Structure 1
């Protein structure tokens, strides 16, 4: 378990008599030849040997198969050296492609494995799916979040020198030596500065540590493969940046030898005056005849560095549909989950190769030394925001969206959906395939939430589309009404039922189309609304709506209301007798509840119409024609209107004399 820094004993040949006992130079891809394993790594020279050992291969003449790290399902590491044959083949039946030499090319190969591009350029070979992780001795060169840099161990960069005049150096001296037009003599010693090859993580880190970069360094300086003193320290006055862990591992006979000739000729690591210190600090010490790291130098923020295994961020995101459990098992320590590379046996191997073990090794927490960066391909961009719609339901919210427009250069692979509470805390997150364009969060408490949806490509998550709104519980409206005659008040009985034991409060509205017919306030979840008594005769389609409350959603129901014509009463006032030479007057009054009838009235004798009148204010007086002597049985008849039914009045008798 990684709990404290370890400087466990180095199992290697001793440094004796001013020289070293070292193995012959060797390069170790997965052994035996033709071996393919699931988790393929390429890149940094600095960590290649220790990763080869952790993969279970033979390194420096020692067989590490007994301590090979594997996932829970048995997936192992295939680590390919930075140098060796010009091409490598990482999958059975896969393409052969240019061997990535160094941290930068390793990260680029991983990036192109994700995008399917050609490596190392358009003249190369498409490497889609051929690389799973990259060894890197430095952090990101591109901004973004597609790659996660998992700290693997602690290293330091020293300066390997040849010549007694270079035993102790300062940061300012190194700056002046390596800058364009730099110093070429020091302490009477003619200087021959050398740099690691382009793309080397050690080169990039060293230049940053001494305040230079590729634009300000002396570009005429010769370069060699990093961490190979024999190639660099060929004469007195030579100096070259060097991984201290690599120096220790080579000097102790643990790693393949690229430095014994230089060490025999006097090559060594210079002491460095660290910023803020008054004296120089040596990077290594000798313990029982073997080299060991000096913790103070490794922990120094100027020359100490984390070295990383770089993986696709989505592959170690447990919520992603692209989560790779095997990759996670081997590389990630999080919570109770321990990386295979963090086991006691793995840490012994890491320590043997000159590195320090740290408590944060294996972390993907950005607050604990992990880093994120973009794919190492120029010009890539993340997607724009989708077009988002949201519908709040019963303790839920349903999100629907359409793909970003214009479509991103890289195809959308998935959508990241996130829900946050009013305080910004993440309530839930979900990753769904690119073919999915909706998702619902359910079982929510009432309150205000913010939902976001971001389209993702292999480049990373794009711009978020955002919705903010209230989530409440469901309510249900039921309403009843009865057929009502025109002129009478129609009534709508409304009941609103809440859910989750919430009693509904608030207002209810009845509308016909956009016209409001009535409103009322709930009491005990119920209210009866009286509507206008002058609704048109016919069937009315009504919407009964509940406006909701702080905890309940609005709801509505449709009902039909039938309005029929009013039923009138017809009353007649007439004289009992009249002279046959006179004309009798008859008054007819028509009444109906809630309305004053209008229209025509006729007076009949039998089936014959003998007089007609028009109602005014519900009554009319008509003059009859002269009646022949005798008894005449008459009746008045109301012909009805658009709102009142027709009706015959009772018979009445007039005697003509």
Structure 2
């Protein structure tokens, strides 16, 4: 356990002994008309250090030589939570050339709300449009709304202490603070307490109440409300106490930040030592080094009263794959991989330390594992935080490519779709590619892919964040091309389809090829080592011109492909032979045997016997033969021939002449 004695008395003595003169707060907003690209509003706690980092003059010291800018030269415009010089609240600011004039956001919550309104286009409490007027919010606390629309980027470490007046409040416990701020404890060490609390929307107020376990709704109305981090207005009587940013207390009392507290400090105001949970003794938030106040790391790093302070940005603005990516914002605020935020440079961190904050290695982190946080847009309680439903997805694979197309979901959220995000991952879940496209897009193609199994996810997004994903999983291969030829073939002979399949990327196709006539499979074959195959079909295909489909089934490396080929089947050619006697009695009837043949088929049909042009007998083939009985022939020599009429599959044919002598 740490046992640290209170240093508050020494701090107060140092402030008084140093003869610190009271000063009026210096104007810190950018000069009128001096508009800069990266506009920030919000927290009182970090406004002065951001003003300095912007290169402005803070409390009569110019920081122009160390102004933080992006690699493109974009600078920061940091606007105070209250009107500089007058301290007035409820005033208005203009942050862009020709931009709208809207209410000055007073505190972390108001800054985050203004940033949200800048994204959604909603109006502020005065009815003014804030759309596009704010780029980031200063925040001394984390999110108040769940979601992913906003990224809270840690800049430094601060702590919340308790500024008090009266020696009876030199040391306090968490339990005492809890009881004081619910109205249960009204006296400490014989000193009547007069608690004060920062204004609604203050990050310090929210953090402090959470640290001592008090709900905002349980704070009595009798507790006075003061502007955050202004001790002069809060410590007006003995027994007064108010939560206070330790960094702000240090910066004000060291003469670095505009003074709202030195009068109170000169009158005995100081930061109380607090018995941190788990400790036996109390720890002061500050110490004195070379006559100046400095942080006590043990207090800053404490999980109860130490806190990170953030710059809040739209998540999509710092995503290099987003169409809303803002490189200037990324350059200034984000540390990721080999990229270091400009706010994390040695010069910037020297300024940050000067204002009473503790620099941390995670300055600029956007990883939730390293102090960054994610939150939703912060607007009215009725604001629709829903994200779009998944679109309807279709896919087509090509040559080492994947084409995706989609249609929006019919259920349209209150906040419209702003973009579609397409993510391609490999079989191991590694991200292969990510693409963000405009809300008007309906398709996207990935090309140049290697063979493998992939999963594609398409989300519709709006300002609230990423919608539900529509997904596709399948194989992406190289393309194949199928070519086929077929020669005209007579019925009865075997038709052949010669198929050649080629693959892209020098891949030799392997596998099966199928030939179909409609839905009927006529033949299959396996490609040889050169990607070719000859497929023999049935020799009894109908005499006609057939349009055949030839399909390659694909392989582990190649997509399937197909083509069509025309195959003409013609009638078979017949051959007619006869066997007849050379002579016959004129009183007898001669018999003639006719045989009709054709390659690959047995002809059927009618045979006629002609004498000249006159048919003298007919017969019907059976198994390709027929014996025809002729009528009685007159005496003499008769020249005859057989004629095969033909069929649906065999052409007609006239046989050779033969003679019969009738005696």
TM-score range, shorter chain: over 0.9
Residue in structure 1 matched with residue 318 of structure 2 by the alignment: 316
Task: Name the CA distance, whole Å, in 1 between partners of 2:148 and 2:520.
Answer: 54
Give 3-state SS (helix, strand or coil) of 2:440's partner: coil
2:15 and 2:265 in contact (8 A); partners too: no
Q: How do residues 473-552 of structure 1 correspond to structure 2 at under 5 angstroms?
A: 473-524=478-529, 525-552=531-558
Task: Name the CA distance, whole Å, in 2 between partners of 1:529 and 1:459.
Answer: 60
2:342 and 2:348 in contact (8 A); partners too: yes
Residue in structure 1 matched with residue 660 of structure 2 by the alignment: 654
- Cα deviation for residue 578 of structure 1 reads 2.3
TM-score, length basis structure 1: 0.94
2:617 and 2:628 in contact (8 A); partners too: yes
Task: Name the CA distance, whole Å, in 1 between partners of 2:399 and 2:177.
Answer: 68
Residue in structure 2 matched with residue 9 of structure 1 by the alignment: none
Q: How do residues 174-253 of structure 1 correspond to structure 2 at under 5 angstroms?
A: 174-179=177-182, 181-253=183-255
1:420 and 1:450 in contact (8 A); partners too: yes
Task: Name the CA distance, whole Å, in 2 between partners of 1:367 and 1:40.
Answer: 27
Answer yes or no: is 1:307 the counterpart of 2:270: no
Task: Name the CA distance, whole Å, in 2 between partners of 1:654 and 1:367.
Answer: 112
Residue in structure 1 matched with residue 9 of structure 2 by the alignment: none
Task: Name the CA distance, whole Å, in 1 between partners of 2:209 and 2:195.
Answer: 13
- Cα deviation for residue 227 of structure 1 reads 0.7
- Cα deviation for residue 510 of structure 1 reads 0.9
- Cα deviation for residue 218 of structure 1 reads 3.6
1:137 and 1:306 in contact (8 A); partners too: yes
2:155 pairs with one of 136, 152, 155:
152
- Cα deviation for residue 248 of structure 1 reads 0.6
Q: How do residues 220-619 of structure 1 correspond to structure 2 at under 5 angstroms?
A: 220-377=222-379, 378-524=383-529, 525-619=531-625
- Cα deviation for residue 452 of structure 1 reads 1.0
CA displacement 1:163-196 (0-9 Å, x = unmatched): 22221122222222223x5322222222222211
1:163 and 1:267 in contact (8 A); partners too: yes
- Cα deviation for residue 26 of structure 1 reads 4.3
1:455 and 1:461 in contact (8 A); partners too: yes
1:23 and 1:61 in contact (8 A); partners too: no
Give 3-state SS (helix, strand or coil) of 1:15's partner: helix
Q: After superposing the two structures, state which structure 1 stretch, 617-626 or 597-606, moved more.
A: 617-626
- Cα deviation for residue 471 of structure 1 reads 1.4
Task: Name the CA distance, whole Å, in 1 between partners of 2:38 and 2:73.
Answer: 11
CA displacement 1:186-230 (0-9 Å, x = unmatched): 222222222111111111111121223324444553211111112
**Where does structure 2 lack aligned partners over 5 or more consecutive residues?**
1-12
Task: Name the CA distance, whole Å, in 2 between partners of 1:434 and 1:493.
Answer: 49
Residue in structure 2 matched with residue 100 of structure 1 by the alignment: 105
Give 3-state SS (helix, strand or coil) of 1:266's partner: coil
2:482 and 2:562 in contact (8 A); partners too: yes
2:316 and 2:322 in contact (8 A); partners too: yes
Q: After superposing the two structures, state which structure 1 stretch, 340-349 or 244-253, moved more.
A: 340-349
Answer yes or no: is 1:143 the counterpart of 2:115: no
Give 3-state SS (helix, strand or coil) of 1:20's partner: coil
CA displacement 1:299-355 (0-9 Å, x = unmatched): 111111111111111211112222212212222222332222222222221111101
- Cα deviation for residue 369 of structure 1 reads 1.4
Give 3-state SS (helix, strand or coil) of 1:158's partner: strand
- Cα deviation for residue 256 of structure 1 reads 1.2
- Cα deviation for residue 565 of structure 1 reads 0.6
Task: Name the CA distance, whole Å, in 2 between partners of 1:499 and 1:98.
Answer: 63
Task: Name the CA distance, whole Å, in 1 between partners of 2:391 and 2:222.
Answer: 50
2:488 and 2:567 in contact (8 A); partners too: yes
CA-based RMSD of the aligned residues comes to 1.8
Task: Name the CA distance, whole Å, in 1 between partners of 2:312 and 2:342.
Answer: 16
Residue in structure 2 matched with residue 69 of structure 1 by the alignment: 68
1:27 and 1:81 in contact (8 A); partners too: no
